[in-house]
Amino acid sequence: MSARAGLRGSPARWAFWAVLAGAFLLMLRLNLPGHLTVDSVLALHEGRFGVRTTWNPAFFGWLLGVLDRIHTGTALAVMLSGAVLFGAWALLPAVRGRTSWLAPVLALGLVALPQVMIYPGIVWKDVQFAVATLAGFSLLAFGVRDRLGRTPWLSLAAAALLFAAAGLLRQNGLILALPAALAIAWSRSAYKGWLRSAALAVAWLATVAALTFMLSVVAQPQGIGAPDAAGGKGLRILQNYDLAAAAALEPGRRMPYIERASPAAAAHLRAHAAEFYSPERVDKMASDERMSQLWRTVPPAVARAEWFALIRDDPALYLRARMLAFEQVFATPLIDSCLPVTVGVDGPPPTLEALKMTRRFDRNDQRLYNYATWYMETPALSHVAFAAIAAVLAVLLLLRRDPADLVIAGLLAGALGFAASFFVISIACDYRYLYLLDVAAITGLIYLAVDPRLSRR
């Protein structure tokens, strides 16, 4: 039977699509018009009024603003996230050309997870980043699926656009483009040869870079003349956090650069860091108002020099501090403290008033939260468990090594690499930061269930 005939007549495929369609509609029914945290509310405010008031990615607010102008609120953002996520999964049977009955059965269980049934309804940049990345990899898998056929340029172009958007939603998300490009080169090498396939991958990466630049310019309310300082603010927060960790873990440690620029800041940091530092999240540092004031007396160049000195002169202490923070975000030892799920609407009262919104936590929100608690403290809400699944699936797909297998293996490897990057940048344990890892593993499970044969076609 041809792939096209299978697409029309496979009962298992139609059952799989029916499960996804039903789950998508149920997700909308349970979550519309969406759940918003402080980050979400501030981003919507930025998008609606064309201003920059936070250090979050400008693209997030811009996207919410575009959708808000079409239909006021965040309902379209929720619908878009859900459509992209379920659409990416719906494309997988077309990648394989056949569908096993294992696919709809497994999907029926997976769609019940909070990561599928609740998270697409939360207006978070982390969710939009993850679904854009999944859709990008699915389109690449579709584009390279035929070992001997031509590569559809439209799927490569659409994937490049999605990767550019994903990279603007999470600054460290652009690293996913590298395993994607490698998968393109590897999957096409048997047909085009390594030289031509590598050229194709490089051209695709250049397209992603160009689209990233263009979208970043479009997303800036101030235009090119006023560069976005969000990245610098985020880096300063990370530097302060690491310096506080070093002072807390090694009391009395000297900080020569800060001591020269602001003796009071250095003295207070040495004396009180253990009280306000927490590897769980950076927010606790704000509890010490005196330290918050003293940080302002430390010029950015001085903080940067002290941070580099910590990394250069005391790498063991730096790695210890980083490991503590990474353990919190990856293993979430106390998941209740790591915002495993959020429902309702919350934000600063003046911002909510400007948006003509009110705080919300109704009976439906309570039911959704209660549902999510069933999965807490289980492997279903564990990045460690999904990392193990992703690693095993990547090995299996590399052993089978069909062209599309290499792309999905790239997704899994990229998600693991993305999670590993938080060893360097983590400042809080929020579960959403590694949401991509969970849904990438879920995607890998669905993809293998669609065609579980471990031999090449």
Give tens-digit pLDDT for 227-250: 455 557 788 999 999 999 999 999
Are 257 and 149 part of one and the same domain?
A: no
Are 10 and 83 part of one and the same domain?
A: yes
More confident residue, 148 or 277: 277
Q: Mean pLDDT over residues 186-203, rounded? A: 84
Are 70 and 99 part of one and the same domain?
A: yes
Are 27 and 166 part of one and the same domain?
A: yes
Q: Mean pLDDT over residues 139-167, rounded? A: 86
Residue 8's pLDDT is 52
Q: Is residue 422 part of a domain?
A: yes
Residue 188's pLDDT is 81
CB atoms within 10 A of CB 213: 12
Q: What is the pLDDT of residues 57-67, one digit of tens each?
A: 899 999 999 99
- 456 has pLDDT over 70: no
SS3 250: coil
Are 62 and 83 part of one and the same domain?
A: yes
Q: Give the count of domains, the chain.
A: 2
Residue 381's pLDDT is 96
Are 183 and 51 part of one and the same domain?
A: yes
Q: Is residue 345 part of a domain?
A: no
SS3 360: strand
- 224 has pLDDT over 50: no
Cα(357)–Cα(180) distance, integer angstroms = 40
- The amino acid sitting at 335 is I
**In whole angstroms, how far apart are CA 302 and each of 237, 267, 307?**
14, 15, 9
pLDDT confidence tier of residue 98, bands split at 50, 70 and 90: confident
pLDDT confidence tier of residue 7, bands split at 50, 70 and 90: very low
Q: What is the pLDDT of residues 382-398, one digit of tens each?
A: 999 999 999 999 999 99
Residue 440's pLDDT is 98
Q: Mean pLDDT over residues 13-34, rounded? A: 97
Are 271 and 204 part of one and the same domain?
A: no
Q: Look up tokens 């998508």; give the residue.
A: 24
- 1 has pLDDT over 50: no
Q: Is residue 177 part of a domain?
A: yes
- 4 has pLDDT over 60: no
Residue 3's pLDDT is 42
Percent of the chain at pLDDT > 90 equals: 80
Q: What is the pLDDT of residues 129-152, one digit of tens each?
A: 999 999 999 999 998 887 665 667
More confident residue, 150 or 368: 368
Q: Mean pLDDT over residues 304-330, rounded? A: 96
Are 251 and 286 part of one and the same domain?
A: yes
- The amino acid sitting at 269 is L
| Per-position DSSP letters for 63-81, written without gaps between them | HHHHHHHHSSSSHHHHHHH
Q: Which of 402, 401, 397, 395 is nearest to 95 (CA)?
A: 402
Residues of the domain holding 258: 230-331
Residues whose CB is less than 8 angstroms from the CB of residue 87 and which lie 6 or more positions away in sequence, other chains included? 135
- 336 has pLDDT over 60: yes
Are 79 and 178 part of one and the same domain?
A: yes
Are 34 and 156 part of one and the same domain?
A: yes
Which of 284, 316, 331 corresponds to the end of one domain? 331
Are 308 and 368 part of one and the same domain?
A: no
Are 217 and 234 part of one and the same domain?
A: no
What average pLDDT does the chain have? 91
Q: Is residue 15 part of a domain?
A: yes
pTM of the entire structure? 0.93
Percent of the chain at pLDDT > 70 equals: 94
Q: Which of 187, 140, 189, 142 is nearest to 160 (CA)?
A: 140
- 86 has pLDDT over 50: yes
Q: Is residue 397 part of a domain?
A: yes
Output DSSP code: residue 222.
Answer: T
